[in-house]
Amino acid sequence: MHPPILIVRDLWKSYAEIHAVQGLSFEISRGEFFGLLGPNGAGKTTTIGLLSGLIEPTQGQILIDGIDLFSRPMEAKAKLGLVPQSFALYPTLCALDNLVFFGRIYGLKGNRLKERMANVLEMVELTDRADQPVATFSNGMKRRLNIAVGLLHEPEILVLDEPTVGVDTQSRNAILESIKSLNRSGVTVLYTTHYIEEAQRLCDRVAIMDQGKILALDSPDCLIRDLGKGIIRLDFNRGIDEKFLDQMKHIGFVRVVDDQMRIIHIETDQMDQASREIWELMKSRQGLLKTLDISEPNLETVFIYLTGRNLRD
């Protein structure tokens, strides 16, 4: 394992009585592809704001390559590239002019700036569109230009906040290939996404958080091995009664998803046996079952097991 490029120690952020982030502690190794997952309201956005120096913590410490982010912010931020979820671009300017503007903010100029602009445009496959106004770009092209801006100053760690949201499949694949290539070249990546299959495919390690806390942190394979259970999702045409719910509890761990008791999840590591038992129970209840969906153990079932919610909830 390489030395950590990012160290987070006992990080808190509170707003009056609301604790958005509660005692986060973790490290990201140099060259690692690190995923941060959580449902809406889990504290991911606040955490990204803290790690990029946009939000001041209530307490705790963040070190980027050994430099304290809040006592030496300019030095620390120079090592970090931020690609926000919203487009940080000027739509009336062309791609080159956007890069010139942000490059000068980073302190780049002259031949060095020209060289970096050419490099990042090639990385995100926008060289042939460099002179066109950003307003004419598709969402996928804007996402790629967003990444190019974050890479201009050659950061050692790149923070990507949902970089594939709202783009078509072709653009999404192009973005993911660009990010994988960057990581292979040595750039450390901190990645948040609402597409859990991306995290399972790309990340060396994943932190799953909810209610401001990290619930689990490990490689996707280890999380699936240690916490993964199959999930049977049952959607009924009407609410079930307590007697039927108790019968379901003999099959596996039951989680009631809605207040009307119309949707339940059964978590089990005995999928075949559980499925047979469910069908036996349903024989005497014709018309009750609306849909049944089975998910084998994967990172999504781990996520649901830990948080009780889907990633996009």
Q: What is the pLDDT of residues 169-216, one digit of tens each?
A: 888 888 898 899 999 999 999 999 888 999 999 999 999 999 999 999
Instruction: Assign 267 a pLDDT band (cuts: 50, 70, 90).
Output: confident
Tell me what pLDDT residue 7 has: 97
List the one residue out of 22, 4, 1, 3 whose CA is nearest residue 12: 22
Tell me what pLDDT residue 30 has: 95
Q: What is the DSSP string of 289-310?
A: EEEEEEE-SSHHHHHHHHHSS-
Residue 67 has pLDDT above 90, yes or no: yes
CA 232 to chain centre: 25
Tell me what pLDDT residue 120 has: 94
Tell me what pLDDT residue 309 has: 67
Residue 147 has pLDDT above 80, yes or no: yes
Tell me what pLDDT residue 97 has: 97
- Nearby residues of 246 by Cβ (< 8 Å), 6 or more positions away: none
> What structural domains does the chain harbor?
4-219 (3.40.50.300), 229-296 (3.30.70)
| Whole-Å CA distances, 98 to 121, 145, 229, 277, 295 | 12, 9, 47, 61, 44
Residue with tokens 């799953």, as numbered in its chain: 208
| Whole-Å CA distances, 278 to 193, 229, 256, 272, 297 | 34, 17, 16, 10, 19
* pLDDT tens per residue across span 107-120: 999 999 999 999 99
* pLDDT tens per residue across span 235-263: 999 999 898 999 989 898 898 888 889 99
Residue 161 has pLDDT above 80, yes or no: yes
Which amino acid is present at 209?
M
Instruction: Assign 229 a pLDDT band (cuts: 50, 70, 90).
Output: confident
Across 304-310, average pLDDT: 77
List the one residue out of 238, 302, 310, 241 whose CA is nearest residue 39: 310
195 against 136, higher pLDDT: 136
Alpha-carbon distance 50 to 204, whole Å? Answer: 22
* pLDDT tens per residue across span 290-299: 999 988 888 9
Instruction: Assign 168 a pLDDT band (cuts: 50, 70, 90).
Output: confident
- What stretches of 79-230 show up as alpha helix (H) in DSSP? 95-105, 110-123, 139-151, 169-184, 196-202, 220-227
Instruction: Assign 301 a pLDDT band (cuts: 50, 70, 90).
Output: confident
Tell me what pLDDT residue 121 has: 95
Residue with tokens 């509660």, as numbered in its chain: 22
- Contact predicate 38/210, CB 8 Å: yes
